[in-house]
Amino acid sequence: MPTTPPHHPLQDLPLEQLLACHDCDLLLRRPVLGVEQKARCPRCGCELFAQRAQVQRRSLALVLTALLLFIPANFLPIMQLELLGQRREETVWSGVLGLYYGEMQVVALVVFLCSMVIPLLKLLCQLAVLLCIQWRMARGWGRGLYRAYHHLREWGMLEVYLIGILVSIVKLVDMADLRVGVGLFCFIALLLAQIWLEVSMSPQQIWAALEDEHARP
pLDDT at 175: 67
pLDDT at 55: 83
The answer on 64 and 24 residing in a single domain is: no
Name the band, by pLDDT with cuts 50, 70 and 90, for residue 61: very high
Domain-located, residue 8: no
The answer on 143 and 201 residing in a single domain is: yes
The answer on 192 and 121 residing in a single domain is: yes
Q: Give per-residue pLDDT as tens, 46-60.
A: 777 777 768 888 899
**What residues does 37 pair with on adjacent strands?**
51
Number of domains in the chain: 2
Q: Give per-residue pLDDT as tens, 114-144.
A: 888 889 999 999 999 999 888 878 778 888 8
Asked whether the predicted pLDDT for residue 215 surpasses 60, the reply is no
Question: Which sign does the torsion angle of CA 47, 53, 55, 58 carry?
Answer: negative
Domain-located, residue 216: no
CB 178 within 8 A of CB 169: yes
Question: Which sign does the torsion angle of CA 12, 15, 19, 20 carry?
Answer: positive
The answer on 183 and 148 residing in a single domain is: yes
85: Cβ contacts below 8 Å, ≥ 6 apart: none
- Choice between 64 and 94, residue whose per-residue pLDDT is larger: 64
Find the domain containing 44 and state its range: 15-50
Measured between its terminal Cα atoms, the distance across the chain in Å is 58
The answer on 124 and 199 residing in a single domain is: yes
pTM of the complete model: 0.76
The answer on 43 and 87 residing in a single domain is: no
**CA angle, 112 then 115 then 118, to 5°:** 85
- Choice between 85 and 121, residue whose per-residue pLDDT is larger: 121
The answer on 168 and 73 residing in a single domain is: yes
pLDDT at 65: 94
How big, in percent rounded to 5, are the helix, strand and coil portions of the chain?
Answer: 60, 15, 30
Domain-located, residue 155: yes
Q: Give per-residue pLDDT as tens, 2-55.
A: 554 554 555 555 666 677 776 787 777 777 776 666 777 777 877 777 777 688
pLDDT at 208: 80
pLDDT at 63: 94
Please state whether beta strands 177-180 and 37-40 pair in parallel, antiparallel, or not at all (unpaired): unpaired
Domain-located, residue 169: yes
Name the band, by pLDDT with cuts 50, 70 and 90, for residue 71: very high
Q: What is the mean pLDDT of the chain?
A: 78
Average pLDDT for residues 152-178, to the nearest whole number? 70
Q: Write the Ramachandran bin of 33: left for phi over 0, alpha for psi from -120 to 50, otherwise beta.
A: beta
Q: Write the Ramachandran bin of 81: left for phi over 0, alpha for psi from -120 to 50, otherwise beta.
A: beta
The answer on 40 and 147 residing in a single domain is: no
